[in-house]
Chain A
Amino acid sequence: MARFMPLEEAVATHLKDGDTAAFEGFTHLIPTAAAHQAIRQGVSDLVLVRMTPDIVYDQMIGMGLARKLVFSYAGNPGVGLLRRLRDAVENGWPRPLALEEHSHAAMANAYEAGAAGLPFAAFRGYRGAGLAAVNPNIRQVTCPFTGEVLAAVPALRPDVAFIHAQKADRKGNVLVEGIVGIQKEAVLAARRAVVTVEEVVEDFAGLHPNLCVLPHWTVAAISVVPGGAHPSYTHGYYERDNPAYLEWDRVAADREVFAAWMKTHVLDAGPGVFAERVAGLGVER
């Protein structure tokens, strides 16, 4: 049952040391504010899960929150590589990071299996791909009907999923639209889900009947954080802050510059700064 609460309380209540945590968003609706709150809270030994770890995971890894990353594409979208992730993988700084690497198809199937309550996902994938040789969680299963050999990966069942969405209604039902990505599956696969939203509306009356709505009883906590997906975007609210992605490439290139940037923009800040950050990025509504 969804409870509305400040982001500080939502993260403190639902994210614990050692958790397997998915902060999902496929380029769109990335839950940056929630990830920054986790960094401020100083949680440790996380297994971070995400199809497309980008800037926020670079930040969490660079701050030493994670011991392992489960992922399928780790890059700064449109810019290049993740330099804090590279430092962790190549040099063990600030701590070594174990990798469990998949393809997008595998991760998408694994989330779906988690949401469906299945132990694993079967799909036609990884044929000839090198990942099958370096990731012991990529195995094979034979179709009992046709004999076709398919790839199998374990279901993803995070302890907690964090997503950002456009809006909630007063009851705590959550609406996601635009590029919906993997968020619905991540929420339904996870044991607990925390959602940040741009705004709360009275109800969802009059909206299109097929919009992606997560019923309030699938969500543990909702926090209202306008701009909470910055520097990614929220369809219908604000656009992607492309210069911020370019700037990150410079910030993340140096450990000291990174530490100073994190102190100013994350450790000494709070969820309230996100509304200011998207002030110049609005779209016509």
Chain B
Amino acid sequence: MSVDNVTPGEMMTIAASRALSNDDVCFVGIGAPSAACNVARLTHAPDITLIYESGTIGTAPDVLPLSIGDGELCETALTTVSVPEMFRYWLQGGRITIGFLGAAQIDRFGNINTTVIGDYARPTVRLPGGGGAPEIASASREVFVTMAQSKRGMVERIDFFTSFGHGEGGDHRRRLGLQTKGPTLLVTDLAIWKPDPETKAFTVVSLHPGVTRQAVQETCGWPVRFADDLDETPPPSDVELETLRALKARTEAAHAGRAGGGTRKGPNDG
């Protein structure tokens, strides 16, 4: 497959999907994480367990859900449990290997803000809030994040700590009594990032095909560190790209198939 045909968004989804394995039990955030998780399930990880916070365990949707509680998720799930059971037994109980989150705002230590832009009491923009994220970030054995790069999204200092990543870096998680690993992977539309073993600051370990260091820095609000042995992300295979595009096409068709006017968008964080 020619790299020229691949959009940055497709590269992001496919690179993120590769990080998941067949044995993972993954708590899926809506939007970009949902696409990556389902591409993994439809390619190299057919037995992965995908869990959405609405209580659907082992779901296998044919199209991407618009919300975490679409009927498709329940109809294709192994079982559907109540919301308290979801958060108490399955998340707090330590059953989740990967919490896969999106982010409105992230800092270099993987701390995420989806609560407010500006001051909490007098916000410039009131965002939806954390939902399940604060405990997904603390109770999942590790956390993957995927988001498109922008200076507005990747910032020096987040306005609110909705979900705790590595805090101020170093051993901050341990000092708070958090036994889980926290963010171990950030996949953007331009690169793959992993935390430095000591400082825990995200470091670029792989550039997607055709992406320059300059492009990564221009869309990131903190001074970017690049690994000494910087890799290039393998381009999407034919199977990966065809799987993603077919999934998107089925999703568009399904969500456009109902009565009513208005412009339609694809799945979005919400």
Contact = CB atoms under 8 A, between A and B. Distances in A.
Interface of A: 26-28, 51-52, 71-82, 85-86, 89-90, 101, 103-105, 108-109, 111-112, 123-131, 134, 148-149, 178-182, 184-185, 233, 235, 239-247, 250, 280-281
A80 to B, nearest CB: 6
Contacts of B255: 242
A126 B164 CA distance: 9
B181 to A, nearest CB: 14
Interface string B38-78: 00000000000000011110000000011111110110000
B9 interface: no
B161 A129 contact: yes
A154 B86 CA distance: 20
Contact of A103 (B71, B74, B135): B135
A243 B80 contact: no
Interface string B116-145: 000011011111111111110011000000
A183 B66 CA distance: 22
A210 B92 CA distance: 24
Contacts of B135: 103-105, 123-126
Contact of B126 (A85, A123, A240, A246): A85
B13 interface: no
B260 interface: yes
A128 B167 contact: yes
Name the residue among A75, A126, A233, A244 with the largest chain B CB count within 10 angstroms. A75
Contacts of B82: 180-182, 184-185
B99 to A, nearest CB: 12
Contacts of A281: 258-259
Contact of B138 (A71, A127, A148, A185): A127
Contact of B130 (A26, A112, A129): A129
Contacts of B70: 27, 240
Contacts of B261: 243, 247
A78 B177 CA distance: 34
Contacts of A250: 262
A78 B67 contact: yes
Contacts of A280: 258-259
B97 to A, nearest CB: 17
Contact of A127 (B131, B176, B260): B176
Contacts of A76: 270
Given A126-B134, A127-B138, A240 B66 contact: yes
Contacts of B88: 105, 108-109, 112, 123
B258 to A, nearest CB: 6
A66 to B, nearest CB: 15
B188 interface: no
Contacts of A127: 138, 164, 176-178
B84 A185 contact: yes
B226 interface: no
Given A130-B162, A134-B120, A79 B131 contact: no
A26 B54 contact: yes
Given A130-B115, A240-B71, A243-B261, A78 B270 contact: yes
Interface string B142-166: 0000000000000000001111100
B114 to A, nearest CB: 9
Contacts of B71: 28, 178-179, 233, 235, 239-240
A180 B262 contact: no
A108 B84 contact: yes
Nearest to B54: A179
A179 B115 CA distance: 26
Contact of B131 (A103, A235, A242): A103
Contacts of A79: 265, 268, 270
Contacts of B80: 178-180
Contacts of A78: 30, 65-67, 267-268, 270
A77 B113 CA distance: 18
Contacts of A235: 71, 74
B259 A103 contact: no
B185 interface: no
B268 A129 contact: no
Nearest to A128: B164
Contact of B55 (A90, A109, A180): A180
Contact of A125 (B121, B124, B138, B267): B138
Contact of B56 (A103, A111, A148, A179): A179
Contacts of B167: 128
Contact of B69 (A27, A108, A124): A27
B265 A246 contact: yes
A210 to B, nearest CB: 11
B69 A105 contact: no
Among B120, B134, B260, B267, the most chain A Cβ lie within 10 Å of the Cβ of B134
